[in-house]
A and B are shown apart, each in its own frame.
Chain A
Amino acid sequence: MNVSLNEIPWGAIAPIIVLQLILMITALVSCIREEKTNGPKWMWILVILFISLLGPVIYFVVGRRND
């Protein structure tokens, strides 16, 4: 069964995608502006970009230095 693009109810799905994007972009901005992160910065950027939803959360919890 192939779901064509028109059948996907964008009204319900679009807000979810937008929120995930906002989360990802916030994490990226925070990561890039941070002077030093816990662990290499390029690794965090990859984590944020490629693990959806969980990546940014892990970055915010573990990656930032609290000072």
Chain B
Amino acid sequence: MTQWTVLYRKEMTEMVRNYKILWVPIVFILLGVMQPVSSYYMPEILDTFGGLPEGTILEMPTPTGEDVLMQVLSNYGMLGVLILVLSAMGVVSAERQSGVAGMVMIKPVPYSSYILSKWAGLLTITLITLFIGYAASWYYTSLLIETVDFERIFQSVLIYSIWLVFVVTLTLFFSTIMKGNGGVAFVTIFVVFGLSAVTSILGENMKWSPAAMTEHTGQVLLSGEPGSGFLLGFITTIAIIIVVLIASIQIFKQKELLE
């Protein structure tokens, strides 16, 4: 346990040292804040830059606060996931290449501690980032558009965080089994977006899919209740996360550490 704490602390110092702890949350805050601001000023923006003929009357329905926050979450689903995966892609593979992993594993450190400390580090930054970014977005939405029930916000962000945890766990897994950083990012993003696409096309048949979590998030925001099949999706997602973690540890054991 103490070894794990040391490794975890190493993870966190590293994130401070390469500024990850600063830039990832800032990007999420900006992503989250720009959506309410731009939907609030959309009529003015169109007026000034739209080049519409004089006297055009635009009936723009003002979006509700829930709509804006759903937009924010769908931005997080695209750009946010991209940034998280890119920032986490080297988590194991880069350390293996530079020999740091070898240096750590020469000492009697259990393989599971090494992988789990990496995972905990990723979890920490992901959750901090999501909560801060979403809170900023909620603040701006209630300032400019309308207040959204805190309970809905809280529930939706909890459900959404499960999806992001799934995404970073997958990144960790591919980072363990593959060598190049770019390849890790590419495969992870391919799998994640592929899963999202298949889930939204097949809908009913994919209730177990982790990507269904993003749909439940929207449901919670709009109606206060997750859609049907939430429990099934929740359980499979947690199960997949655990299986992927165990697989990462097992594969990491077999790998040559010094290449």
Interface residues of A (CB under 8 A from B): 1, 3, 12-13, 15-16, 19-20, 22-23, 26-27, 30, 53, 56-57, 60-61, 64, 66-67
Bound-complex Cα distance A22 to B90 (A): 25
Specify the chain B residue showing the minimal Cβ separation from A54.
Answer: B27
Q: Which of B15-23, B109-117, B223-231 contacts A (4 or more CB under 8 A)?
A: B15-23
Tell whether, in the assembled complex, residue B48 and residue A67 are in contact, meaning their CB atoms are under 8 Å apart: no
Tell whether, in the assembled complex, residue B37 and residue A27 are in contact, meaning their CB atoms are under 8 Å apart: no
The main secondary structure of chain B at its interface with chain A is: helix
> For this complex, into which size category does the number of interface residues on chain B fall?
20 to 34
B126 to chain A, nearest CB (A): 16
Residue in A3, A16, A60 whose CB lies within 8 Å of B23:
A60
Bound-complex Cα distance A64 to B17 (A): 12
Contacts of A1 in B (CB 8 A): 47-48
Tell whether, in the assembled complex, residue A56 and residue B37 are in contact, meaning their CB atoms are under 8 Å apart: no
B94 close to A (CB within 8 Å):
yes
* Contact digits for B52-85, partner A, Cβ 8 Å, 1 yes 0 no: 0000000000000000000000000000000100
* Contact digits for B89-133, partner A, Cβ 8 Å, 1 yes 0 no: 010001001101000000000000000000000000000000000
Task: Given A30-B18, A67-B94, output 14 extra A-B contacts at Cβ < 8 Å.
Answer: A1-B47, A3-B48, A12-B143, A19-B26, A22-B26, A26-B19, A27-B19, A60-B20, A61-B83, A61-B86, A64-B18, A66-B181, A67-B97, A67-B100
Bound-complex Cα distance A30 to B18 (A): 8
Bound-complex Cα distance A49 to B12 (A): 28
Bound-complex Cα distance A53 to B140 (A): 19
B82 to chain A, nearest CB (A): 9
Contacts of B83 in A (CB 8 A): 57, 61
Tell whether, in the assembled complex, residue B27 and residue A57 are in contact, meaning their CB atoms are under 8 Å apart: yes
* Contact digits for B14-56, partner A, Cβ 8 Å, 1 yes 0 no: 0000111011001101100110010000001001100000000
Bound-complex Cα distance A30 to B83 (A): 18
Bound-complex Cα distance A2 to B123 (A): 47
Tell whether, in the assembled complex, residue A23 and residue B37 are in contact, meaning their CB atoms are under 8 Å apart: no
A18 to chain B, nearest CB (A): 10
Contacts of A19 in B (CB 8 A): 26, 29-30
Tell whether, in the assembled complex, residue B37 and residue A16 are in contact, meaning their CB atoms are under 8 Å apart: yes
B87 close to A (CB within 8 Å):
yes
Known: A66-B90, A66-B181, A67-B98. A57 touches B23 (CB 8 A): yes
B144 close to A (CB within 8 Å):
yes
Bound-complex Cα distance A16 to B94 (A): 33
Specify the chain B residue showing the minimal Cβ separation from A16.
Answer: B33
